[in-house]
Amino acid sequence: MLLTMLLFINEHWLHIAQIPTLSEVLLRSGVMKRPNVTVQQDEIAVHFIDVGQGDCTLIVTPDKTVLIDCGEKSESGSVIRYLRSFGVSRLDHVIGTHPHSDHIGGMAQILSAFDVGEFIMPDHPDSLTPTTDYYIDMLKVIGDKDIDAVYSEPGMNITLCEGTVLEIIGPVGSDYDDLNDFSVITRLDSGNYSFLFTGDMEKPAELDLVNTFAQLRADVLKVGHHGSSSSSSTEFLKRVQPTYAVISVGDDNSYGHPTPEALKRLQKTGAEILRTSELGSVVFVTDGNTLNYVTAEDAA
């Protein structure tokens, strides 16, 4: 108990180099699994962090870091340890794609634990605004820390480093009936490679994107709504044509995600399907000319 307290205090306050952090001990002991990945100075890394039945994506570049969603509140400690184990101390941009607990349930804890530059969220109707504790707690932390909070708008561009830009491309509609379709949609372009992050976007929002953007092709697709049958429509996938499709999903979840219908449509694209429920966290690394990935399962 005393040793655990010492490790925790060193990780958060003392920072004595000779004493390992609690995260490092957990990683070495195998209690906390993470991919064994080394990123060079001219590379960026996109982490699809295993948070069970939820979404959490970390983008790390030589200049800036971005966190998209964070999973349930119960996962916040693991996410904080994961980020710190990769040397993250500041989140320049945090995106809460939409206010469901499996996406922002632990956001208050994450925002409290790190220096945060900007928080981006969707502008949804008041009738869909939740009154849940996790949502109210998140807004309170944003206010208490005076974090710059902005609504997402298609066309917003964030330069993360030379040759790497994160663009907000959705939602493009404003009359959806479901919070899922108000998910903030982002596209990351780095050199010759691109990533598309879709939150829980379902078919209505997918079709709006198809009708709005001539170019949706992406090498890596974060599959919408954990592989729900109401997402990953044929029309949308034909336009994206991903090489890799990452499904952030919990093992044996009660929703039946990913559904056979969504998997069948994804398989028709020829994409390699990567599930966090099977592989743990998945990390893609690119220098703009090559693209590779490693998983927590590889390090097991």
Share of the chain above pLDDT 70, in %: 89
CA 15, 17, 18, 22 torsion: positive or negative? positive
pLDDT the model gives residue 4:
53
d(CA 280, CA 283): 10
Please say whether the beta carbons of 69 and 96 come within 8 A.
Answer: yes
Residue 262 has pLDDT above 90, yes or no: yes
d(CA 295, CA 274): 9
Please say whether the beta carbons of 121 and 151 come within 8 A.
Answer: yes
Cα–Cα distances in Å, from 296 out to 20, 32, 81, 243, 293? 21, 10, 15, 20, 10
For residue 99, what are the domain limits? 35-299
118 shares its domain with 195: yes
225 shares its domain with 98: yes
Share the mean pLDDT of the chain.
Answer: 91
> Model's pTM, two decimal places?
0.90
Please choose, from the candidates 52, 60, 78, 64, the residue with its C-alpha nearest in 3D space to the C-alpha of residue 195.
60
pLDDT the model gives residue 127:
92
CATH number at residue 84: 3.60.15.10
d(CA 167, CA 144): 28
5 shares its domain with 129: no
233 shares its domain with 269: yes
Average pLDDT over residues 85-104: 97
192 shares its domain with 222: yes
24 shares its domain with 48: no
* Tens digit of each residue's pLDDT (9 = 90 or more) over 151-163: 999 999 999 999 9
124 shares its domain with 41: yes
For residue 119, the one-letter residue type is F
98 shares its domain with 8: no
21-30, 34-43, 213-222: which range is least confident on average?
21-30
Average pLDDT over residues 107-135: 96
* Tens digit of each residue's pLDDT (9 = 90 or more) over 199-258: 999 999 999 999 999 899 999 999 999 999 999 999 999 999 999 999 999 999 999 999
36-40, 205-209, 229-233, 291-295: which range is least confident on average?
36-40
Task: Give me the sheet containing 193-197, strands edge to edge.
Answer: 157-161, 164-170, 185-190, 193-197, 220-222, 244-247, 272-275
